[in-house]
Structure 1
Amino acid sequence: MRELARSGMTMVIVTHEMGFAREVADRAIFIHERRILEEGPPAQLFQNPVNERTRAFFASVLHDG
């Protein structure tokens, strides 16, 4: 999948692997209870989420280092 992403192929991937999503995605979407809560470039979404639920989720799963 990484090679396909590098080649520019369009893909829709559902994952709980945040590192992988951050690495290969041009856009990321955070969905909770069947609703899109937030979307944007991975750097923006992961580093500065606007929605409280998104912030809480990332705080629980993302670790620096």
Structure 2
Amino acid sequence: MIIVTHEMSFAHQISDKVIFMDQGQIVESSTAKQIFDHPQMSRTQQFLARYRGDTDYII
């Protein structure tokens, strides 16, 4: 099943795989654990930093 959401806590809880997109382009695709715990791309890191309220990832 494919679910499109901006609710990150929901996505984190239910997803096996996450595809992070920005302006219609796939930025990063991996397991939910990898995306949420160790995002590789700076755009994903920036987005998740806002979701977490965390400034460690903001570049």
Indicate the TM-score class for this superposition, using the shorter chain for normalisation.
0.7 to 0.9
Runs (5+) with no aligned partner, structure 1: 1-10
Greater Cα radius of gyration, structure 1 or 2: 1
Runs (5+) with no aligned partner, structure 2: 55-59
Displacement of 1:62 in angstroms is 1.8
For 1:21-49, what per-residue CA distance to the aligned partner results, in whole angstroms no more than 9, with x for missing partners? Answer: 11111100100011000011111101111
TM-score norm. by structure 1 comes to 0.77
Residue-pair matches, total:
54
TM-score norm. by structure 2 comes to 0.84
Q: List 4+ stretches of structure 1 deviating above 4 A.
A: none
Which residue, 4, 11, 20 being the options, matches 1:21? 11
Cα distance in structure 2, aligned partners of 1:23 and 1:52: 23
Tell me which protein shows more strand as a share of its residues: 2
Q: Percent identity?
A: 41
